[in-house]
Structure 1
Amino acid sequence: MKGSVFVGTSGWNYKHWANGRFYPQGLAQKHWLSFYAERFGTVEINNTFYRLPSPETFAGWAKTVPKGFIFAVKASHFITHIKRLKDPHKSVQLFLSRLPRLGNKRGPILFQLPPQMQADRDRLDGLRRSLARRKGLRVVIELRHESWFTDEIYDLVGQAGWTICLADAPKFSRKIPVLGPFCYIRRHGATARYASCYSDEQLSQDARLITGLAKKGRDVYIYFNNDAEGHAVKNALTLMEMIPNKYLPNIPARTSSTSI
């Protein structure tokens, strides 16, 4: 059984994508998501990292996009950066209580840990316990300190059924393993973080990795976070052209030209 590949960007609500750069000249901001969803089958919601939207906001997003569209959701920084996974149960349950309004368009949930946070197995296990009763969640952990990359942590993540985010992290000495039934990739920028474009050769390497995983039955989610100057959109569209159509969701305008 083949896996499915979901290619998108980290967020869509960028004013510097307007006025013809990606969104057409004069397109009202309230229509940006529907325009985006005509070209991509997924998006990573990153404003949930800074504040928790109302249930009505989540429901509105779900109504705006077509059937089959997937929202990945970045967990609150209160859980990961302020409390650093300490006593996470109440804050995790509050966060999760909003997500049902996305319905079957809810995708993976990303917990991005601070780059200064060193490995703490007990706290990570506390997060596991907080999520254990929530069946069907696809949980992703973005680890950003070298100390996390150990077999002990891999075992915990694997037992929980989670996956570790594959992100641009040249400082890490270990190759990050692909754990769990799906793969989650974040691309923050080729050279300058958030502000540089990937070459076709770099994208073709990702395409080969992704296609290989999909052939083996793994779903793959990849999000470009290099939003400056619309690089994320350009790179995502280019990558989609490099992946066989049979692995991609059926989006009618997927190959439509833009001003990027």
Structure 2
Amino acid sequence: MHGACHQDTGRFAIGCAGWALPKDAQQAFTPEGSHLERYASRLNAVEINSSFYRPHKPATYARWAASVPPGFRFSVKLPKAITHERRLAGCQDLVDTFLAEAGQLGDKLGCLLVQLPPSLGWHAERVDAFFTMLRERHAGHVVVEPRHASWFSADASALLAPHHIDLALADPAPCAGASWPLAPANGDASSRIAYYRLHGSPRIYYDRYDPAYLNALADRLQADARRFESVWCVFDNTALGAATFNALELSELLKGRGL
């Protein structure tokens, strides 16, 4: 089994989906180093989405891990070959390959993200078999982002809880009936994660969240830190660089509260 993701009680992991730095935000970061090194000078987490589209060499993950400070964490999205093509079935070989690659992040691997296609509804036997297989190989945080309404049910929560699999909390909501859970499904926060994926609103991927939204979000994250082991917030409104500004603003809000 690959090593567990690093987990700190109540810590905040704030970042973006990717570490590109828009020109008008670059002055907020140290001027030296690679884009990742500069990004990591101000933000303590990042979500790797490129792994969804193509594999990265183990040496690439190792180089990324060596480029960031000790407290920095990566979330890595599972390949679409697993989630969208094989649809969680018969994919043990692909999971093994992916974990051998991403595992080179070592203790800087903070979470695995399983984003599902909107067409993939709840199928208890398939889901149970997949997460049983994954848990035999990986003990760290795993978050699933379903986009079909059938996943947002008591039966689904009851099946996912023993595997310690949490739902991503997405904005905008991915489908009718989706809502932000307020507490772990199994009532045990000791090994659970609150993971927010904020895609931008009202224009998804483009628009910047305003100060009022971020203040309310900071309130929520502060409350989550008392219940969940780890609290992540990833901004995915990257099309025009809004994610970088929002991540910096939220990080400063939390620091201003002494968090």
Aligned length: 242
C-alpha spacing 1:238/1:126, structure 2 compared with 1 (3 Å): same
SS of corresponding position for 2:225: helix
| Alignment match, 2:16 | 9
Deviates more, 1:198-207 or 1:46-55: 198-207
Instruction: Return the alpha-carbon distance in structure 1 between the equivalents of residues 104 and 147 of structure 2.
Output: 30
1:72 aligns with 2:75: yes
SS of corresponding position for 1:122: helix
Query: Offset at 1:244?
Result: 4.2
**Any conservation in 1 of the 2:17–2:236 contact (CA below 8 Å)?**
yes
**Seq. identity, %:** 34
SS of corresponding position for 1:241: helix
Instruction: Return the alpha-carbon distance in structure 2 between the equivalents of residues 29 and 12 of structure 1.
Output: 15
- The amino acid of 1:115's aligned partner reads P
Choose from 201, 206, 212 the match for 1:195.
Answer: 206
Choose from 149, 152, 161 the match for 2:155.
Answer: 152
Normalised by the length of structure 1, the TM-score is 0.86
Query: Offset at 1:175?
Result: 2.6
**Any conservation in 2 of the 1:143–1:164 contact (CA below 8 Å)?**
yes
1:58-137 to structure 2, matched below 5 A, reads: 58-137=61-140
SS of corresponding position for 2:125: helix
Choose from 191, 212, 233 the match for 2:223.
Answer: 212
C-alpha spacing 1:2/1:84, structure 2 compared with 1 (3 Å): closer
Query: Offset at 1:197?
Result: 0.9
- The amino acid of 1:227's aligned partner reads T
- The amino acid of 1:7's aligned partner reads I
Instruction: Return the alpha-carbon distance in structure 2 between the equivalents of residues 240 and 81 of structure 1.
Output: 33
Query: Offset at 1:88?
Result: 2.2
Query: Offset at 1:245?
Result: 5.8
| Alignment match, 1:257 | none
Choose from 37, 51, 55 the match for 2:54.
Answer: 51
Instruction: Return the alpha-carbon distance in structure 1 between the equivalents of residues 238 and 180 of structure 2.
Output: 24
Query: Offset at 1:182?
Result: 1.4
Deviates more, 1:234-243 or 1:73-82: 234-243
1:23 aligns with 2:26: yes
Query: Offset at 1:72?
Result: 0.7
1:176 aligns with 2:180: yes
Deviates more, 1:61-70 or 1:164-173: 164-173
Instruction: Return the alpha-carbon distance in structure 1 between the equivalents of residues 83 and 240 of structure 2.
Output: 29
SS of corresponding position for 1:140: strand
1:247-258 to structure 2, matched below 5 A, reads: none
| Alignment match, 2:3 | none
SS of corresponding position for 2:37: helix
1:109-149: CA deviation from partner (whole Å, max 9, x where unpaired): 00000112221222211211211223532110001111111
